[in-house]
Amino acid sequence: MYAQAVTIPAAPSEPSGLPEPQTRGYFFNLVRSISPTSLELELRRVAEAGFNLVVFPVYSNGWTLFQSATAREYGLPSINPRLSKWDAVEQVIRLADRFGLTVWGFARPYNFHPRYSIAEHRLLRKHPDWRLRAHPQHLTARTRRAESLHPCPLNPDYRRFVGSLLAELAAGYNIPGIVINYTAVGIEGGPLKSSPFCFCASCRERFRETHGVELAAEALHGDLELVRAWQRDQMHLHLRYLRHRLLKMRHSLRLVARVRPQWREGAFDSQLLTPGVSLLDWSTLAREGALETLVIDHDNERLGPLFSTRLAADYAYLGDQVLFLPMLSVHDLDDLSIPMAVLRRYPCTGFIGEFQRSFTDGDTQFLARQVFGNPAILPSDRPLQTAAYFLNLVHQTHQDQPELRELTRDILRLISRQSPHPHDFELLRVMEQNLRGLEQAIRRGALGFGSIPERTLIHLGLARRFVRIALMDVPT
């Protein structure tokens, strides 16, 4: 067999006639006029347009959009005051089920900017010790403003609060995925002048316990890279903690991060000391299984001819083990023709769109006819069916190459044994190893026949990634 591959026995029957797996995500913007009637109208149009996923706010600016016992325990109303008479999350799940949509919850726990909420936040006034704090040598109007809008993501008490909120959501509501926003956390790499956070009492105490020195003094006169490395480790710990809390509630829950593509801005020798760079190592976290998918933020860039270049930069940085989706800022529906043409050239199974205006009935008809056409399943809902779809494409394309044809047929047959839910961890791991070995053998030219098109490698890579997702879904 191939490098890093394990022999797989044949098994009967293989799947056929699978629908196309493609993420067609609609990001729901929170507005003050939200009501049960407007929510139903918007979701109906989204479903009729051809979307299969709605990303709906569940926690924003310190308020939940669902009835939360955790919020009450911390001295807040159980739901955003503007939604006190109805439960928006419960309503959107009920409507989405009627319209054939999947709902992912969207949490914005680290940036409380007023434009992201429909009521002024009270959380940081209620718990001022949770605030992000600037270095004492860099107290300005700008940093004071930032302190009022950002909780400290390294604070263990706030971490427990967020973990409890999201775990309560996962336990009480039928939401298969949660997207956590990391586009404006507040703590970044770089010198103190450009990134003077966080030096709150909690951070100082825990840094002193770990390193035996004062955090503010070490950052100002000592080893700033040591400070940034400690902050990065604490950020990673925070994310892994949230994943642990969520998986205890539901082992197959999708944990997704919306991240800013700072890697597009140029090469840097040390991320820890590069201004504006997130201290989370997204490529490593995704490869290690701390989350399933990365949503790459549009970073306020409009769709245009450079979209392909941006997508290529994301793929080059993230590597061939990470599942990612671009987030699109859509001002004109005609612009969607650009990503729909480009996405198929990369190992990417769709997008999430942030539309700058609500749909009309005419917009719905345009999207259904001109953009989406046929229905599509959400890939993350059925990872093994998605893997089978891409493997079947390879199998049908290479009927004249027996070695490739036979191996893909064997794996397809084995996938059918894991229906309706993945249950054999070792078998799935063998599949993943075989697919990786096959990809490596093709790239080395070790199969002994003509060149293989890049599209085949894209399909094999996607199949391997979704087998890995299925592997992570097996109950332990």
Q: What is the pLDDT of residues 151-160, one digit of tens each?
A: 999 999 999 9
- Sign, CA dihedral 402-407-409-410, equals positive
Higher pLDDT: 19 or 230? It is 230
Length of the chain: 476
Give the type of residue at 6: V
E strand or H helix at 46? helix 36-49
Q: What is the mean pLDDT of residues 115-123?
A: 90
pLDDT at residue 12 greater than cutoff 60: no
Distance, in Å, from the CA atom of 183 to the CA atom of 169, rounded to the nearest integer, reads 22
For position 89, what pLDDT does the model report? 97
Tokens matching residue 66: 């669902």
* First-residue to last-residue Cα distance in the chain: 29
With beta carbons less than 8 A apart as the criterion, state whether 379 and 21 touch: yes
**Per-position DSSP letters for 317-346, written without gaps between them:** HH-TT-EEEEEEEESSGGGGHHHHHHGGGT
Distance, in Å, from the CA atom of 320 to the CA atom of 455, rounded to the nearest integer, reads 14
pTM (2 d.p.): 0.93
pLDDT at residue 184 greater than cutoff 80: yes
Q: What is the pLDDT of residues 254-264, one digit of tens each?
A: 999 999 998 88
**Per-position DSSP letters for 402-438, written without gaps between them:** HHHHHHHHHHHHHHHTT-SS---HHHHHHHHHHHHHH
